[in-house]
Amino acid sequence: MYIDHIAIWTNDLERLKDFYLQYFNCKASDKYENIKKQFSSYFLYFIDGARIEIMKRYDIKERIDKERIGLAHFAIVVGKKEDVDEFTKYLDESGVIIYSYPRTTGDYCYESVILDPDNNKIELIASDN
């Protein structure tokens, strides 16, 4: 078994799509639209086959910004520890919000955490943990 994709609600499909295309070298599907349900989405494809589905529905507007039960973050392997450092620095210089800078966590994972434009937490982790 493996995870095929995760899905994220957004109020700005194009902004979120552009973020992942720019910084994570994703490819995007054609935009899907269901006018009757007022739903639209893109699938974003990573090189290794993993996908993120970003979705918009016009009746979903509110975001909960506090920690809560449910999805807390997702993690993307960016390479070795040096790659985590370099990529985090690049994102910081590009204006991306850094939630936590590179460090070794209590469970011995080397990571940093960034926020996408909708404040979803993304762990950038080293493959050599």
The pLDDT tens digits of the residues spanning 15-74 come to 999 999 999 999 999 999 999 999 999 999 999 889 999 999 988 877 766 766 577 889
Q: What is the mean pLDDT of the chain?
A: 91
* Long-range pairs of 107-113 with CB within 8 A, sequence gap ≥ 24: 110/81, 110/84, 111/75, 111/84, 112/84, 112/88, 113/73
CATH fold, domain 5-57, is 2,3-Dihydroxybiphenyl 1,2-Dioxygenase; domain 1 (3.10.180)
Q: What is the pLDDT of residue 67?
A: 65
- Number of residues assigned to the chain: 129
C-beta of residue 76 within 8 angstroms of C-beta of residue 55: no
pLDDT class for 85, splitting at 50, 70, 90?
very high
Q: What is the pLDDT of residue 69?
A: 56
Q: Which amino acid is at 45?
A: Y
Q: What is the pLDDT of residue 108?
A: 87
Same fold, 5-57 and 74-126: yes
Radius of gyration of the chain (CA): 15
**Closest of 45, 49, 50 to residue 5, by C-alpha:** 50
7 bridge partner residues: 53
Helix, strand, coil percentages for the chain (3-state, nearest 5): 20, 40, 40
> For residues 50, 66, 57 and 52, what is the CA-based torsion angle, rounded to 10 degrees?
0
Question: Would you list the domain boundaries of the chain?
Answer: 5-57, 74-126
Q: What is the pLDDT of residue 76?
A: 94
Q: What is the pLDDT of residue 48?
A: 84
Terminal C-alpha separation, the chain: 23
CATH fold, domain 74-126, is 2,3-Dihydroxybiphenyl 1,2-Dioxygenase; domain 1 (3.10.180)
